[in-house]
Amino acid sequence: MVEPYRFSVTESAERIRDGRLTPTELVESLLSRIAELEPRLDAWVTVDTEGALKSAKTLTREAAARNLRGPLHGIPVGIKDIFNTKGLRTTMGSPLFSNYVPESDARIVERLREAGAIILGKTETTEFAYLDPAPTKNPWNIEYTPGGSSSGSAAAVASRMCPLAFGTQTGGSITRPASFCGVPAIKPTHGLLSNEGVYPQSWTLDHIGFMARSVGDLSTTLQALTGMESMKPMRKPRIGLPATYFNEVGAADVIRNYSETAEKLRRNGANVVELELPESFRVVHPSHRIIMFAEAAAVHESKFRESPSSYRPNIQGEVYSGLIIPSSTYLRAQRIRGIFRREMLSAMYGIDALLTPATITPPLKGLTSTGDAAFNVPWSFTGLPTVNIPSGLNEEGLPLGVQLIGRPYGEVSLLGVASWCEKVLHFTVEPPLD
């Protein structure tokens, strides 16, 4: 018999709907899985055993009475520890918030509860969702980073400790850990999912997104949260490949996998075309950094002036840098952002999605760095939606991924392309944990 912790969102929902599985059975199975693996992986700050079981019992009774709240009814979810959760400690990965217990839920957590999801607990994050690493290890090899800042969410989904987990991305904090841990993920269009009640890193760059076991799971979850129509796999999509930059700066095994992936999609019927990046791409990365640093400094200024030593080195450097950025420089960066977004959308005319490597390197050995967000920054800068798809393993047996980029609010179409690609790539390998 297959243990319930192995079921995806879609599989769990189907079994709950037809009575073959109860939310209580699913939660109990996942709690056992957490008890087994958490000492090795450190994916969770807090596991809400009592609260999750209480919610599961209520949702089990509702399911027995055929009173289902939707496709997420009874689905356990991990929540990055910068989302406010009513009555449940929310630390931001910082000693400044080590005992903070919010009085209300973040809007997205509230929406999840309304949809019937069960909050299983809070997943590890880098400090204030920046670069200083969380203690989480990569399930594929505990000597390697899982990426960040949504470290715990990616590791928890990859290791089958939960079927769905939420994170945030300001630079590459959903796509990179999802790629490093070998799981699908979506970063929707900026603002599609509310970040009310989520501790900000950079107001105009922060995205809410999530990781799951399949592209179908991503579609089901987005549909439940937004009311969007369900995606339909697209036959023979037209996919654009950037002609420069990504192939020039990516690590050798990343680029090899990217080239092989593009060729496999082409052989299976995709119309793969080369695409020129606009001239404004040259200043995307410094402009993104200016905006992120200036807004982070505004977020942290008062607490930082009171106690700078309470901040770890990377976030200290970010705030110090942001405090000295002139307003004219910040505004110029925002203007460049608008120009690049317009030019990028023009460059993407006539294609269904843009395809790039998901990360500049494979997962890095050691837990002192979460990796480089360079390949994700342009799409956080523009706010365009992205989907990560696992696409292979390197020689060390570590996951590699590709990302698909779509148009604003084009998630249904983008997920359709991603679903087609997922079927072609057929990545079914799991971390060697059992």
Residues involved in catalysis: 80, 149, 173
The number of beta carbons lying within 10 Å of the beta carbon of residue 324 is 10
CA–CA distance, 112 with 93 (Å, rounded to integer): 22
Please name the residue ranges forming H helices in 227-279.
246-249, 252-267
CA–CA distance, 326 with 29 (Å, rounded to integer): 53
Q: Is 314 helix (H, G, I), strand (E, B) or coil?
A: helix
The number of beta carbons lying within 10 Å of the beta carbon of residue 83 is 28
**Bridge partners of 79?**
122, 166
- Counting every residue written for the chain, the total comes to 434
Q: Which two tokens stand for residue 244?
A: 């420069």
Q: Is 432 helix (H, G, I), strand (E, B) or coil?
A: coil
Q: Are the beta carbons of 204 and 197 closer than 8 angstroms?
A: no
In whole angstroms, what separates CA 334 from the centre of its chain?
Answer: 24
Q: Is 311 helix (H, G, I), strand (E, B) or coil?
A: coil
| Closest among 388, 367, 356 to 184, alpha carbons compared | 388
Which long-range contacts link 406-410 to residues 24+ away (Cβ below 8 Å)?
A: 406/352, 406/353, 406/354, 407/345, 407/348, 408/189, 408/345, 408/383, 408/384, 409/189, 409/192, 409/385, 410/189, 410/385
Torsion of CA 280, 286, 291, 294, to 10 degrees: -150
Q: Which helix (H) or strand (E) holds 286?
A: helix 284-306
Instruction: Convert 18-37 into a string of H (helix), E (strand) and C (coil).
Output: HCCCCHHHHHHHHHHHHHHH
